[in-house]
Amino acid sequence: MSTDARKRRICFPITSRAYYGRSQLLIRKLQDHPAVDLELMLGGSIMLDKYSRHISDDIKKGGFTISASLFNVIEGGNHVAMAKTACLTALEATNSLYTADPDVVVICGDRFEQLAIAMAAAYLNKTIAHIEGGDLTGSIDESVRHAITKLAHIHFVTNDDAKRRVLLMGEDPKYVFNTGSLDVERVACVNADITTKELGTYGVGHDVDVTKPFLTVIQHPVTTEPDNKQHLETTFRALAALDMPIVWFWPNPDAGTGEMSEMLRHFREHHEAATEKMRFITNLPADQFIALLKRTACVVGNSSAGIKECSYLGTPVVDIGGRQQGRLSADNVVRTGYSADEVRAAVTKQLAHGRYAPSHIYFKPDTSQSMVDVLTSVDLYTQKRFHEVL
Amino acid sequence: MSTDARKRRICFPITSRAYYGRSQLLIRKLQDHPAVDLELMLGGSIMLDKYSRHISDDIKKGGFTISASLFNVIEGGNHVAMAKTACLTALEATNSLYTADPDVVVICGDRFEQLAIAMAAAYLNKTIAHIEGGDLTGSIDESVRHAITKLAHIHFVTNDDAKRRVLLMGEDPKYVFNTGSLDVERVACVNADITTKELGTYGVGHDVDVTKPFLTVIQHPVTTEPDNKQHLETTFRALAALDMPIVWFWPNPDAGTGEMSEMLRHFREHHEAATEKMRFITNLPADQFIALLKRTACVVGNSSAGIKECSYLGTPVVDIGGRQQGRLSADNVVRTGYSADEVRAAVTKQLAHGRYAPSHIYFKPDTSQSMVDVLTSVDLYTQKRFHEVL
Amino acid sequence: MSTDARKRRICFPITSRAYYGRSQLLIRKLQDHPAVDLELMLGGSIMLDKYSRHISDDIKKGGFTISASLFNVIEGGNHVAMAKTACLTALEATNSLYTADPDVVVICGDRFEQLAIAMAAAYLNKTIAHIEGGDLTGSIDESVRHAITKLAHIHFVTNDDAKRRVLLMGEDPKYVFNTGSLDVERVACVNADITTKELGTYGVGHDVDVTKPFLTVIQHPVTTEPDNKQHLETTFRALAALDMPIVWFWPNPDAGTGEMSEMLRHFREHHEAATEKMRFITNLPADQFIALLKRTACVVGNSSAGIKECSYLGTPVVDIGGRQQGRLSADNVVRTGYSADEVRAAVTKQLAHGRYAPSHIYFKPDTSQSMVDVLTSVDLYTQKRFHEVL
Amino acid sequence: MSTDARKRRICFPITSRAYYGRSQLLIRKLQDHPAVDLELMLGGSIMLDKYSRHISDDIKKGGFTISASLFNVIEGGNHVAMAKTACLTALEATNSLYTADPDVVVICGDRFEQLAIAMAAAYLNKTIAHIEGGDLTGSIDESVRHAITKLAHIHFVTNDDAKRRVLLMGEDPKYVFNTGSLDVERVACVNADITTKELGTYGVGHDVDVTKPFLTVIQHPVTTEPDNKQHLETTFRALAALDMPIVWFWPNPDAGTGEMSEMLRHFREHHEAATEKMRFITNLPADQFIALLKRTACVVGNSSAGIKECSYLGTPVVDIGGRQQGRLSADNVVRTGYSADEVRAAVTKQLAHGRYAPSHIYFKPDTSQSMVDVLTSVDLYTQKRFHEVL
């Protein structure tokens, strides 16, 4: 706990590798700010070796204060495990927030643990800042994101559509800021590249030559749909037919992950021919991930990185199914349903097209600095009031 | 778990005495409906003897199926206890919802445990119906209510203002129903009276003659304010000066309750003269509570019963402070700040005025039947989409 | 977390007011020891204002490091609340022990939270020291105490009988130390007195003149018996008939507390004549409590203070029922069943007898220093082995 | 909950695949007994697909009543995950035991979740029966087993040494029964065989011909030792040098499992030559497991199956390290330390020796029926008393 009463205490809960990548610039600037006491709270998949070994090392090297390291992921990879993980996270976050006693808790995005932490923070009467509200997607994320908005006091949105919706929902215009996307700011700042050899040090499977055309697959479960396993199989069959090298990311630990991961393991064991050009990776450090997006011929799946990071990079994307449904996208995205023919046709089309011109729909310069400016200077409040738009 | 696949399984979590009173007509009709399997989940203060002895007896006599009885209230009466109570409730509700496997979970109002249960239900991919969304108030309830709205799929609002706001927030107009208030429907249906003798069997302190003018005080903590104890003391001093009989209800178990309850106990121990016309009650059965509202000369405090039930009854109300701020109210309500002079002046004015003409702002006939009709016939869905109003 | 690897890190979980009183000399010496990093973990009833306001102030003034402050008491005062309180305590203690990473966790006595913490510590592979193993009593404490013994690595027992039993249970003789009772060491050290006026600042009810004969009642629930309420009523009726001033302590928050507390409140409300010489107290600071034991004519109930502290003081004790059954006691104790006649007769007999000669069955000089010596010098180990006595 | 008050309600918590195998005969007999209401509580690794798909199917087919299905395994495979899994299990078991309200809870063995459930049951004042108390081993199991003994009221031990120790620990001789081992009773009853083809349907890796000599490796983490990964590597190198077919079981989900599993995966990915005669299996149905033990040339590792089941079967066993230290064993067991040379020499020696004569140290006829007889007829009690042996 700070002994310097004049500093603003800011708590930043990081519960997944994606959030850490996204937040690096912001937490570094907060850490270096003389008027801020920053405390990181680590939980969720960040604590589990298999996903994030590199991350906890990074954080330690970065000199950050870690107020809590919570093991709170319930095994199962199904809905009940996801729900209980969120509840346990909230329970433990309550203790940590009570001890750390921050002035502001920064909630990021729309993952289920983040709503749980927001709920705990709200009950503890903390001011909540929310990054990336107002977007539209499918999956349970759609509900979670807007529920967090209604608990939050300060809103950092990434685009003007999102801003309009956050205001429609009754938030105070004085506290809604379109700062652009942190993910895209990172993309714009990072100059990294990745070699075939470096890529070969991550994950399992066969080497993928990054100097030749290859696909990148990131397909997460859609928690509100029952057929995640079949949808993954469809993608697999569609892409296997193309006979291209593929870097395939394991799915996020949401409901449905278990059966999807099992299917990937099944492909590896029983379809050796089909997977002999594939590499399976759980996690890349954020810089290498961006480098990969720059090099890949096409991103396939349903990751927000396809919509956001790739809009700025001009990387062709085939977005499958409902997970990103409704999300603002640039020309680089072709959307498809779950049929193998559709997916294959869309990928073929994108490969033929090649890279797109960069789009700035999610980009504003100095995103993280703008957030720091707000977080350090804005008047904090806790009692929310509904602002009706006319 | 139902063996009859054609019945709709509905889960109704009841976590406070107020919710039970409010819901009686609805759960009775659901229980009697041939196409419904109803399961009650009991938790929160409902399980604690001191608040709700009469209620659990009622429920057992009513023949309801109780899928879970959860002891999940953390002692402390402060913010951290409130937060952890919510989190523990959600954790345990997850197990119960997983086992009971309902089609619909009915969330009621804006208490903190209800958001926690809504969160668990959302992660379990259940359809959520929410009663009383769209209203405005102060306290943490304001945030909680709207966050539940953004997790819910079916909305039963109590007035047209609330409907407008729920639609602004992006909910699907096909699933937003203004059915009026369950509380007010009960008031309209109940013909009960209460005698001085009956009242004397509840709570502690001195007898209050219900045939002569008396005040009813219901002042709960405002979780987003630090001065609940002082505000209660102000009310006490203001009313003690009036030298009238008072029925005083203990506060709800939210953050701030502990210090308020302690102050009430202090008044009783150390201000015997001032409390010698006062009776202190934790709970009345719902019918007797309505009877009391009919007989009392004025309701003082910050209970929603003053705004809703009393609007229909025409009972004069002095609403103190920010807890009901922004809530639609009828002519019977005079609002004041926290100064003792203001409160005393407002009560004096209301006593001089006497009863008001009934208002129907929260009333529609057949509220509970309308809800049953929707719950049994509406198409259920889980993937939410934001509906932008023009 | 210590940065000085040579210091032994010792964690001391304090979960009730009694444990704090008992441990004061020990934790002060540990805190002052140059080779020890002491961390206190506060939880259970210690965190709840109504029981322990004075204690948390004391601890803060004492300059101790508090590694965790856990609100983990589930309301209900019944078995399920007790069980869940223990489980939640263990869950939260796991996080705290993981973060604090102590070398030794000191578990004290036989309360249900302490077994839970011992279990968590054992799974975390910590060395566990246990104070007060090997005694015999009734209630669930009997099981809990011996189960802790079988998880613990270092044993501080208070008497030779207890030592024999701990060895019988298979513990390593090199790690079993009869250091005498911390409670009795405190009694021997404390020179405090209490005045009528001071006593009057604690609790509620009528003043008790400490210069004239008065009784002290401490009757806790026996968790393995169903009739705690009736047994309390019996004690009340037996003592009311004696028409003596009484200082009556509220029961500990174990299963059965709720109904016992309610009964005491009922006596106060509805038996004003019978309670007009009674004062009801939740907590006295440890020194004043000892002073009270020195002054009282007789201690009635089932507290271990009657058996241990009063053995040294020679204070007459009437020990009722099964809670202390089997515990080594000195001549000052008269044991009775639950009949009002028995209780009244025993009290009358003790009043006639007056004070007893001090006994040293639980006393050894320098108890706390002996413990410190062991804790700082003994070789630590984690893998237990059963030592069979011949 | 039973409606027939004359039936004895027995709750059987099953938290691992091993416990299910062990308990099959017992729970079948309890289920069929006219005076028993049996309820199974499922939790731990039993709920996770990867370990126990076959088991939950079996249980459903068996017509058992399942009072709770708890997802309560915290990911991490380390000490803090193990501790929290136990605590969460206890928390949830409390709710289930409260609802099911059994007369007896049957705790089995020494796994960490079972102590947690025993603790919850003890606080709920249930009579606890414990199977397999009094044995000696290493690892945290050693502490856990004896702590359960001190919470339990009825003891089913598997051998006379164990009985002596349970009595030494103060248990009532009237409630200590040497019924022999359930595991061994199953072995004696099961007539199953397993074919190469059947074995090939489980797990991953290469086929193992069961008609030719092969090794079976079951090496679990020793939670009180830091070097589980290295010890596994030692075993791997020792056995790889023997160039024999191996059926290798994945370790139990205790602390240390994560790094051990990762090492096994590493072997598979990066030591293809060395693993080309190996098959890796998470789970076999109990009958097939016994069949495998009958056919294997030697069991290597630290499983209790090597000590108990194999004693009756006469299967040669090389028991490595401290996990089974102190456990009563027959001639079929050769014990070694963790050096590769020792392990290889011991296996070579056992292969040269071949099968042993059956031993009855853990065997009594009708084990499960004896337990049923006790569970249905013995007087139940809850207040424990220490019985001192002379």
Shortest Cα distance, chain D CAs vs residue B342, angstroms: 49
| Mean pLDDT score, A185-204 | 93
Could you tell me if B30 and B36 are in contact, meaning their C-beta atoms sit under 8 angstroms apart?
yes
- Residue A69: what pLDDT? 87
pLDDT above 90 for A283: no
Query: What is the share, in percent, of chain D residues with pLDDT greater than 90?
Result: 76
> Can you tell me whether residue B343 is helix, strand or coil?
helix
**pLDDT band per the 50, 70, 90 thresholds, residue D96:** very high
- Residue C52: what pLDDT? 61
Mean of the per-residue pLDDT values for chain D?
92
Shortest Cα distance, chain D CAs vs residue A41, angstroms: 17
Question: Tell me: the pLDDT tens digits for C233-278?
Answer: 999 999 999 999 999 999 987 788 888 988 998 888 888 788 999 9
pLDDT above 80 for D3: no
**pLDDT band per the 50, 70, 90 thresholds, residue D54:** low
Q: Which of A79, A98, A385 sits opposite B123 (nearest CB)?
A: A79
Query: Does A57 or D149 have the greater pLDDT score?
Result: D149
| Mean pLDDT score, A269-291 | 88
Query: Does C29 or B48 have the greater pLDDT score?
Result: C29
The token duo for A43 is 């939980």
Query: Which of B61, B80, B79, B68 has its CA nearest to residue B44?
Result: B68
Most confident among A297-306, B3-12, C272-281 (mean pLDDT) = A297-306
Burial class, B242, CB count within 10 angstroms (exposed 0-12 / middle 13-18 / buried 19+): middle
Give contacts of B122 with chain A, Cβ < 8 Å.
140, 143-144
Q: Which residues of B touch D (CB under 8 A)?
A: 68-71, 91-92, 95, 98-99
Query: What is the share, in percent, of chain B residues with pLDDT greater than 70?
Result: 97
- Residue C69: what pLDDT? 87
Burial class, B37, CB count within 10 angstroms (exposed 0-12 / middle 13-18 / buried 19+): buried
CB-CB under 8 Å, C81 with B49? no
Q: What is the ipTM, given to two decimal places?
A: 0.93
| Mean pLDDT score, B68-76 | 89
Q: Which of D69, D91, D98 sits opposite B99 (nearest CB)?
A: D69
Query: What is the share, in percent, of chain D residues with pLDDT greater than 70?
Result: 97
Q: Helices D228-240 and D257-270 meet at what angle, rounded to 10? A: 30
Considering only alpha carbons, which residue of chain C is nearest residue A98?
A: C69
Give contacts of C68 with chain A, Cβ < 8 Å.
95, 99
Q: How far is CA B128 from CA A143, B378, C244, D339, D367, in A?
A: 11, 12, 61, 59, 51
Q: Which of A86, A170, A386 sits opposite B123 (nearest CB)?
A: A86
Question: Tell me: the pLDDT tens digits for B342-359?
Answer: 999 999 999 999 999 999
Long-range CB pairs of B268-275 (<8 Å, 24+ gap) are B268/B204, B268/B205, B269/C204, B271/B240, B274/B236, B274/B240, B275/B205, B275/B206, B275/B240
- D touches which chains (3+ CB pairs under 8 A)? A, B, C
Question: Tell me: the pLDDT tens digits for C134-159?
Answer: 999 999 999 999 999 999 999 999 99
- Residue D1: what pLDDT? 41
**pLDDT band per the 50, 70, 90 thresholds, residue A16:** confident
pLDDT above 90 for B249: yes
pLDDT above 90 for C289: yes
CB-CB under 8 Å, D385 with C123? no
Residues 6 or more apart whose CB falls under 8 angstroms from that of A130 comprise A106, A107, A108, A118, A148, A149, A151, A152, A154, A155, A156
- Residue D50: what pLDDT? 57
| Mean pLDDT score, C307-320 | 97
Angle at B266 between CA C71 and CA B204, to 5 degrees: 95
- Residue C390: what pLDDT? 59
Backbone phi and psi for residue A186, each to the nearest 5 degrees, phi listed first: -60, -45
- Residue C4: what pLDDT? 52
Mutate to test the interface with A, among B123, B146, B160, B227 (most CBs of A within 10 A): B123
> Can you tell me whether residue C49 is helix, strand or coil?
helix
Q: Which of D88, D165, D389 sits opposite C170 (nearest CB)?
A: D165
Shortest Cα distance, chain A CAs vs residue D270, angstroms: 10
Mean of the per-residue pLDDT values for chain A?
92
Question: Tell me: the pLDDT tens digits for A79-95?
Answer: 999 999 999 999 999 99
Backbone phi and psi for residue C261, each to the nearest 5 degrees, phi listed first: -65, -40
Question: Tell me: the pLDDT tens digits for A300-354?
Answer: 999 999 999 999 999 999 999 999 999 999 999 999 999 999 999 999 999 999 9
Question: Tell me: the pLDDT tens digits for C97-136?
Answer: 999 999 999 999 999 899 999 999 999 999 999 999 999 9
**pLDDT band per the 50, 70, 90 thresholds, residue D148:** very high
CB-CB under 8 Å, A255 with B383? no
**pLDDT band per the 50, 70, 90 thresholds, residue C381:** very high
- Residue A272: what pLDDT? 79
How far apart are the C-alpha atoms of B1 and A248, rounded to whole Å?
40
Could you tell me if B130 and A141 are in contact, meaning their C-beta atoms sit under 8 angstroms apart?
no
Shortest Cα distance, chain B CAs vs residue A365, angstroms: 29
pLDDT above 90 for C284: no
- Residue B110: what pLDDT? 94
Could you tell me if C149 and C130 are in contact, meaning their C-beta atoms sit under 8 angstroms apart?
yes
Considering only alpha carbons, which residue of chain B is nearest residue A143?
A: B151
CB-CB under 8 Å, C68 with A98? no
How far apart are the C-alpha atoms of B233 and B236, rounded to whole Å?
5
The token duo for C114 is 């302490």
Q: Work out whether strand A278-281 and strand A204-205 pair parallel, antiparallel, or are unpaired.
A: antiparallel
**pLDDT band per the 50, 70, 90 thresholds, residue D77:** confident
Q: Which of A49, A76, A269 sits opposite D258 (nearest CB)?
A: A49
CB-CB under 8 Å, B92 with D68? no
Question: Tell me: the pLDDT tens digits for D250-294?
Answer: 998 778 888 898 899 888 878 878 899 999 998 888 889 999 999
Query: Which of C56, C112, C124 has its CA nearest to residue C82?
Result: C112
Considering only alpha carbons, which residue of chain D is nearest residue A69?
A: D80
- Residue B252: what pLDDT? 82
Q: Which of D83, D86, D150 sits opposite C146 (nearest CB)?
A: D150
pLDDT above 80 for A162: yes
Give contacts of A99 with chain C, Cβ < 8 Å.
68-69
Mean of the per-residue pLDDT values for chain C?
92
Shortest Cα distance, chain D CAs vs residue A229, angstroms: 15
- Residue A1: what pLDDT? 41
Q: How far is CA A261 from CA A78, A84, A253, C16, C105, in A?
A: 12, 20, 10, 47, 40
Question: Tell me: the pLDDT tens digits for D129-145?
Answer: 999 999 999 999 999 99
- Residue C3: what pLDDT? 46
Backbone phi and psi for residue A297, each to the nearest 5 degrees, phi listed first: -75, -30
Considering only alpha carbons, which residue of chain C is nearest residue B261?
A: C50
How far apart are the C-alpha atoms of A182 and C377, rounded to whole Å?
54
Considering only alpha carbons, which residue of chain B is nearest residue A388?
A: B165
CB-CB under 8 Å, A72 with D73? no
pTM: predicted TM-score of the whole model, two decimal places? 0.92
How far apart are the C-alpha atoms of B377 and B373, rounded to whole Å?
6
